[in-house]
Amino acid sequence: MKGHSNKWILASLSLSTLMASLGVSIANVALPTLTEVFSTSFQSVQWVVISYLLSITVMIVSIGRLGDIFGLRRMLMIGVIIYTLASLACGISPTLWGLILARAFQGLGAAILIALTLAFVREAVSDKKTGSAMGMLGTISAIGTALGPTLGGILIENFGWRTIFLIMTPLGVLNMFLIYRYLPITKTKTKFESKKIDWIGTVVLALTLTSYTLAMTIGKGSFDWLNVVLLLLAVFGIGTFMYSQANVKFPLIKLSLFKNRNLSASLIINSFVSTVMMATLVVGPFYLSMGLSLNETFVGMVMSVGPIVSALTGIPSGRIVDYFGSSKIVITGLLIMVLGAFALSILPNYYGVLGYIIALSILTPGYQLFQAANNTSVMMDANKDQRGLISGVLNLSRNLGLITGASVMGALFAFVVGSSDFEIAKAQDISKGMRITFIAAGILIIIAVIISLTTRKKKV
């Protein structure tokens, strides 16, 4: 493939990644405005964010499989079209529930973009540059996460909340052109028979993931009877899904995939790492505002350190993976994350905001190294006719880790603080909650290191 075309392919994949990450971060800043515009509760407008994330989590594996069957380029184009039209629908929606429905479709489009960009990297670049490409996509994702709140705030203040969704439409149109003009048509080697879609498995998996996601997100930080019922439904759904996949002729996911110890280990570790990173997003703001008494502006500035460091270290991380190999860098990244997690439990107690920033600046590069290496390792091992599926499963493990992290780490923090009402908690209790939460995070990453050391074979 010619270098010129290669650059434009990566430009399209980068734009796809940017659109998906902006879709998450840009909407959060609009929630207070939406409560006023639609005269409703915060619990109701939260579904503007939840519906987007729910669609991504529920659909990402099935989307990956469809990419393998119908071609990555075709499905990526469909994803951009869905995302663009849904963004337009969000921007013109007259009601809150219309906006929530449109956001669900926008999340469906984002699921396609997220699942298939990683898979398409293997079509766009050589083996020796796969790590660099993965690192670049990590950088773009971090830029989208960091840019979203600032861009959203500017747009809302000057042009109204609808513009944060309408701005996605020209980006989508541009990406359609790039895909049509530069992305190659991917030819899978999948036999005709295997192109039959396991609709039953798809529906069961979707319902299972929906139940689990809702169990972990609804409510006010505590498990009531509805959360328990949803969690039990998710457990039942897992059993039903595994039974169906073992007995159907053309399964959505071949269970034999998980006999690959390296793949299974990568997915588990990916979930653990995402759980820890989510703890910084959930616990961090409360510690900064109520433990260190920072105002909202300074909290936002300190929280932006993570995405900024991610953006700066993403591409170098990919190049390091290309040079040293993914196996060594997975371990290196995890060890740096262990240091960062324990630093978050110790340094802020002695050095305040500076200690928090230093610790976050240790944790984040470790995360970028791990992501670049782990993504490269998994996708390099994936068969060509399963790249979409494997990419979907990899992203699902990340999303489940984020969802679990928000719930479990948040619950641990609240338990140590001694109250779910942080407004009345003492600063020293908030600090103690921060310390214990990130000690637990460090232990979780140590477990990830052990899993990696005992399962991962040496490979480039």
88-143, pLDDT tens digit by residue?
999 999 999 999 999 999 999 999 998 888 778 766 676 677 777 877 887 888 78
Distance from C-alpha of 421 to C-alpha of 386, rounded to nearest angstrom: 47
357 within 8 A of 284, measured Cβ to Cβ: no
Distance from C-alpha of 59 to C-alpha of 63, rounded to nearest angstrom: 6
Distance from C-alpha of 140 to C-alpha of 132, rounded to nearest angstrom: 12
Q: What is the mean pLDDT of residues 6-24?
A: 87
60 within 8 A of 399, measured Cβ to Cβ: yes
Output the six-digit token pair for 51: 């519906």
Please give the pLDDT value at position 421.
61
Q: What are the tens digits of pLDDT across the range 54-98?
A: 888 888 888 887 887 888 888 999 999 999 999 999 999 999 999
448 within 8 A of 334, measured Cβ to Cβ: yes
Output the six-digit token pair for 132: 């660099």
Q: With H, G, I as helix, E, B as strand and everything else as coil, classify residue 55.
A: helix
In the chain, DSSP finds a helix count (H) and a strand count (E) of: 18, 0
CA angle 118, 119, 125 (to 5 degrees): 85
Residue 237 has pLDDT above 60, yes or no: yes
CA angle 73, 191, 123 (to 5 degrees): 30
Please give the pLDDT value at position 423.
65
Which CATH entry fits the domain spanning 254-459: 1.10.287.3510, 1.20.1250.20, 3.30.160.20, 3.40.50.2000? 1.20.1250.20
Please give the pLDDT value at position 188.
57
Output the six-digit token pair for 229: 């019922």
Q: What is the pTM of this model?
A: 0.79
Please give the pLDDT value at position 377.
87
397 within 8 A of 80, measured Cβ to Cβ: no
Distance from C-alpha of 355 to C-alpha of 411, rounded to nearest angstrom: 24
Q: With H, G, I as helix, E, B as strand and everything else as coil, classify residue 439.
A: helix
Q: What is the DSSP string of 272-324?
A: HHHHHHHHHHHHHHHIIIIIS---HHHHHHHHTHHHHHHHHHHHHHHHHHHHH
296 — pLDDT class (breaks 50, 70, 90): low
> Are 1-192 and 254-459 equal in CATH topology?
yes
306 within 8 A of 360, measured Cβ to Cβ: yes
Domain range list for the chain = 1-192, 196-249, 254-459
412 — pLDDT class (breaks 50, 70, 90): confident
CATH no. for 1-192: 1.20.1250.20
Nearest 5°: phi and psi at 203? -65, -45
Please give the pLDDT value at position 222.
59
Least confident of 55-64, 271-280, 341-350: 55-64
Amino acid at 76: L
For the chain, the maximum distance between any two Cα atoms, rounded to a whole number of angstroms, is 64
Q: What is the mean pLDDT of residues 217-234?
A: 79
Residue 459 has pLDDT above 70, yes or no: no
